[in-house]
Every structure is written in C-alpha cells, then in structure tokens.
C-alpha cells in the first residue's frame, strides 16, 4: 500500500557539473521502475541545475537542509522560499546536522513545521548513537526525537511525512543495522505515529532505513514489512549502484 522510496543523500559531494551528470545517469537508469519512487538530494548550489536536468523524469530532487525562517539575517542559511519551485522535499534533522552542527530537537521540529507550511515534504531523520543503543536506550532516544515533531503536525501531515531511521553508528561506517534492527526501529516509529495520529496516518507515512545501505545488504532489509525504502549516502554517489538499489527494492515488492 505504500510506494517505497529510494533516496540518495549526496551530502557535501559532487560539483555542479558532476551532480548534473550523476542525476542524469540515475534518472535514465530508473525510468522504467515505476513501482519505486526515486529522489536525489544534491548540494544546494547544484539544485537548480539538477532540477532542470530531471524535469520530465520520474526522479525528483530535494534539499539536504533548510532554515525555518523565510528570510533574515542568517548568514549562510537557505530558506524555504528559496527552495520554492525547485525542490519537492527536504531532509531535516540528519544526524550530521544534529551531531556535527549541534541542531537540537526543538530546531528540527521547527524546520519540519516550516517545511509543511511551505508545501515541502520533510524527510525527517532520527536515530540513536552507539552508546545509546548499547545501553538499551534506542526507543527512548527515537521516541524523544519523534515526539518533538509529533507536537507540531496534523494527522494529514503525519501521513505525508517521510521519516528516516538512521542509526548514527551505521552512517558511513560500513556497519549496517541488521534487518531485524531496522525492522524493529521502523515498526516502533510507525507505532508512535499510530499512537499520536491513528492507523490511517501510520499506514501511509513512509519510514525509510539509512546507514551503510549497499547492493550487498539491501535485499534483506527492504523485504521487511515496516521498511519503506532507503536513505542512501555513499552508495548513492555511484549511479549503477544506486540504480541497482532501486531495482532490488522493486524486485522485493510482493507480486500483486
């Protein structure tokens, strides 16, 4: 019932011309895989060029971050108005924003609110650090992160939201969560949406897994019931690998 989404977070990689080339290769490779939604998240400076290159394809483009205000004295920041007409979605609360740049839960929640106010779909990221998992606090941490956002949105918005479960210890480390760990966390997040907004929203919201997804480990993870796709870092910079991840996702869908 939920269309899976495979999303490529390019982080601080590519040049403008490199981004356009990569986007073009991805779009051509996934064009015939209509059962899976595909999105790429290039750096800000490449967004317009990539959006132009992807126009008319089924690959969409999103931003990696934004400020919640529309304008003002915020040197170096990008506002929702600036993204208007260029992107459809925006990654918010990525662990690198939280842990390298110190973004707190309150700030991430304001950004999610602002994204909805400006017609953008948030790809809201949550996930625990290694010490938190090892001390049995995964649900407490993820529950807190989701809790801040739940307070800011309506049931209809919750249904449209994309949540990415990205355990910090699995990001860029080559150590992915096991299929069970990914499924348990994604199911937990869906239960939280159910608890706050009911079954309808929980059944529609998409929950992605992210963290060292690659062509060797993805098949076992994507087959799990509550995993609705992937947020891919490193492997999204290689067009054939990324296209293969979309293909694996499609092939794992139950036949109807």
Which residue numbers are catalytic? 94, 166
Residue 9 interacts with ligand 13P (CB under 6 A): yes or no: yes
User: What is the Cα–Cα distance from 54 to 98, expressed in whole angstroms?
Assistant: 30
User: Cα angle at 11 between 9 and 17, to 5 degrees?
Assistant: 95
Other beta carbons less than 10 A from residue 140's beta carbon: 12
Residue 65 interacts with ligand 13P (CB under 6 A): yes or no: no
Q: Which stretches within 90-178 are classed as H helix?
A: 95-99, 105-117, 130-134, 138-150, 155-160
91-125 residues labelled b (16+ CB within 10 A) or e (exposed): bbbbbbbbeeeebebebbbbbbbbbbebebbbbbb
Closest CA to 247 of 92, 29, 8, 63: 29
Q: How far is the CB of 219 from ligand 13P (least distance, A)?
A: 16
Token readout for 245 is 């991840």
- Applying CB under 6 A, the site for ligand 13P has a residue count of 14
Measured from the CB atom, is 41 or 148 closer to ligand 13P? Answer: 41
Residue 229 interacts with ligand 13P (CB under 6 A): yes or no: no
User: What is the Cα–Cα distance from 168 to 182, expressed in whole angstroms?
Assistant: 13
Q: How far is the CB of 233 from ligand 13P (least distance, A)?
A: 2
User: What is the Cα–Cα distance from 20 to 61, expressed in whole angstroms?
Assistant: 11
Q: How far is the CB of 43 from ligand 13P (least distance, A)?
A: 13
Measured from the CB atom, is 87 or 171 closer to ligand 13P? Answer: 171
Other beta carbons less than 10 A from residue 203's beta carbon: 13
Q: Which stretch binds ligand 13P (CB under 6 A): 21-29, 98-106, 150-158, 210-218?
A: 210-218
Q: How far is the CB of 228 from ligand 13P (least distance, A)?
A: 15
Residue 149 interacts with ligand 13P (CB under 6 A): yes or no: no
What residues have CB less than 8 Å from 106, skipping those under 6 apart?
A: 148
Q: Which stretch binds ligand 13P (CB under 6 A): 48-56, 178-186, 206-214, 243-251?
A: 206-214
Pick from 26, 231, 239, 245 the residue near ligand 13P by CB under 6 A. Answer: 231
Site for ligand 13P in 71-110 (CB under 6 A): 94
Q: Which stretch binds ligand 13P (CB under 6 A): 133-141, 178-186, 201-209, 231-239?
A: 231-239
Binding site for ligand 13P (CB under 6 A): 9, 94, 166, 171-172, 210-213, 231-235
């Amino acid at each position: 019932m939920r269309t899976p989404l495979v999303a490529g977070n390019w982080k601080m990689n590519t040049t403008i011309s490199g981004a356009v080339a990569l986007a073009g290769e991805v779009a051509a490779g996934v064009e015939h895989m209509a059962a899976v939604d595909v999105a790429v998240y290039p750096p800000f400076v490449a967004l317009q060029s990539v959006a132009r290159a992807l126009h008319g394809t089924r690959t969409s483009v999103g931003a990696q971050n934004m400020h919640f205000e529309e304008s003002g004295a915020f040197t170096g920041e990008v506002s929702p108005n600036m993204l208007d007409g260029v992107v459809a979605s925006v990654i918010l609360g990525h662990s690198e924003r939280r842990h390298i740049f110190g973004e707190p839960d309150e700030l991430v929640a304001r950004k999610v609110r602002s994204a909805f106010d400006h017609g953008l779909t948030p790809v809201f990221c949550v996930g625990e650090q290694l010490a938190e998992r090892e001390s049995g606090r995964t649900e407490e941490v993820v529950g807190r992160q989701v809790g801040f956002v739940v307070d800011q949105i309506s049931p209809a918005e919750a249904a449209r939201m994309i949540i990415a479960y990205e355990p910090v210890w699995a990001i860029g480390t080559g150590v992915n969560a096991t299929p069970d760990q990914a499924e348990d966390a994604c199911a937990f997040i869906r239960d939280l949406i159910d608890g706050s907004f009911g079954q309808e929203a929980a059944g529609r919201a998409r929950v992605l897994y992210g963290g060292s997804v690659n062509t060797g480990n993805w098949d076992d993870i994507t087959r799990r019931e509550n995993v609705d796709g992937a947020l891919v870092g490193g492997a999204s910079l290689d067009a054939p690998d990324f296209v293969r991840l979309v293909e694996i996702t499609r092939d794992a869908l139950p036949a109807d």
